[in-house]
Amino acid sequence: MGKCITIGVISVKGGVGKTTVSSNISSALASEFGKKVLLVDANFSTPHCGMHVGLVTPQATIHDVLRGDVSPFQALYEHDSGLHVLPGSLLPKNISPLKLKSKLEPLKDYYDVIILDSSPSLNDEMLATIMSSDELLVVSSLDFPTLSATLHAVKIAKQRKVPIRGLVINRARYKDFELSAEDISNASGIPVLSVLPEDVKVLEALASSTPVTLYAPNRDISIAYKKLAGSLIGVEYQEQGMLSKFGSWFTGRK
Ligand SMILES: Nc1ncnc2c1ncn2[C@@H]1O[C@H](COP(=O)(O)OP(=O)(O)O)[C@@H](O)[C@H]1O
Ligand SMILES: [Mg+2]
């Protein structure tokens, strides 16, 4: 297998969409691109990855791994999509966040991509994600408070000399009062990789603990997620249009 790439998903603000973006690009990379993918809940204080992928009361967790109670291989769970998840514990536990990097090391032989869902808190939790990542995605939305948080996240990543792959703009409502993706990109000096719309299907998907890319695969946001996932590994996502679907029925070709 080729070299594993570890991608941290960060923002210095809660509720922007880190966990949603992390779980959807992870499941898209696994189900659409056949990659071996591990989603790690690195938001140690409020770990919600499990809820996004239908894993609510895991036995062993990243907390146990960081405490040295279990090996990282003992805290892996397989999702229906083929995605592997290393979830967090909903019960508070004392941990050393900065051990994350060394604990992930032995897993890298087994995965193509490791996605780290970060904490927004400006402490060792977020630093653990930044220092464990080969590159970062910064999640932003089109309002001033989030822009301010985005500039902050970019500054921290630069101080730590971890490359930022790009911005993921989430919850675009396409209203006049919004900033534009270009505004965020110009202010931060970071390219925009994807603009994801506000979509109630995301909330519906969360209510059934399924990433929206699997819950509503043909929705615009799901297509956008698949394109984003493909771009991260340098593969173009081929949208299967109606024409090609019917075409293959008529010709008998798959
Ligand atoms: N594109 C979207 N459209 C609608 N709701 C969204 C979208 N992205 C995220 N959400 C919702 O916003 C809330 C916060 O998202 P979450 O991923 O948990 O943010 P974070 O991890 O940054 O705190 C969740 O309820 C999620 O379902
Ligand atoms: Mg989160």
**Ligand 1, atom 15: closest residue by C-alpha:** 17
Q: How confident is the model at residue 242 (pLDDT cuts 50, 70, 90)?
A: low
Residue 2 pLDDT > 80, yes or no? no
Residues 112-123: tens digit of each pLDDT: 999 999 999 999
Domain region containing 133: 5-251
Ligand 2 ion: nearby residues, β-carbon < 5 Å: 18-19
State which of 12, 20, 169 you would mutate to test the pocket of ligand 1, scoring each by most atoms of that ligand within 8 A of its C-beta. 20
Segment 170-190, tens digit of pLDDT: 999 999 999 999 999 999 999
Over residues 10-34, the mean pLDDT reads: 97
Q: Could you write out the three-class secondary structure of 58-90?
A: CCCCHHHHHCCCCCHHHHCEECCCCCEEECCCC
CA distance 93 to 121: 17
Q: Would you place residue 56 in the very low, low, confident or very high pLDDT band (cuts 50, 70, 90)?
A: confident
Write down the pLDDT at residue 239. 82
pLDDT 10s digits, 59-101: 999 999 999 999 999 999 999 999 999 999 999 899 999 999 9
User: What's the 70 CA to ligand 1 centre distance in angstroms?
Assistant: 31
Of all atoms in ligand 1, which is nearest to the CA of residue 11? 22
Q: How far apart are CA 32 and CA 13, in angstroms?
A: 30
Best CA proximity match to 139, nearest among 160, 128, 126: 126
Q: 15: Cβ below 6 Å to ligand 1?
A: yes
Q: Which two tokens stand for residue 205?
A: 């998907």
What is the pLDDT, as a whole number, of residue 252?
45
Here the CATH number for the domain that contains residue 23 is 3.40.50.300
Q: Residue 41: its pLDDT value, please? A: 98
Give me the mean pLDDT over the 5-20 stretch.
Answer: 97
Contact 168, 28 (CB under 8 A): no
Q: What pLDDT is attached to residue 254?
A: 39
Is residue 1 very low, low, confident or very high in pLDDT (cuts 50, 70, 90)? low
pLDDT digits (tens, 9 = 90+) for 27-54: 999 999 999 999 999 999 999 999 999 9
Q: What is the pTM of this model?
A: 0.94
Closest-approaching ligand to the CA atom of 25: 1
What pLDDT score was predicted for residue 25? 98
Overall domain count for the chain: 1
pLDDT, mean over the chain: 94
Residue among 120, 111, 124, 121 at smallest CA distance from 160: 124
Counting ligands in written order, the one closest to the CA of 206 is 1
Give 132-181 pLDDT, tens digit per residue.
Answer: 999 999 999 999 999 999 999 999 999 999 999 999 999 999 999 999 99
- Probe residue for ligand 1, chosen from 202, 208, 215 as the CB with the greatest number of ligand atoms within 8 Å: 202
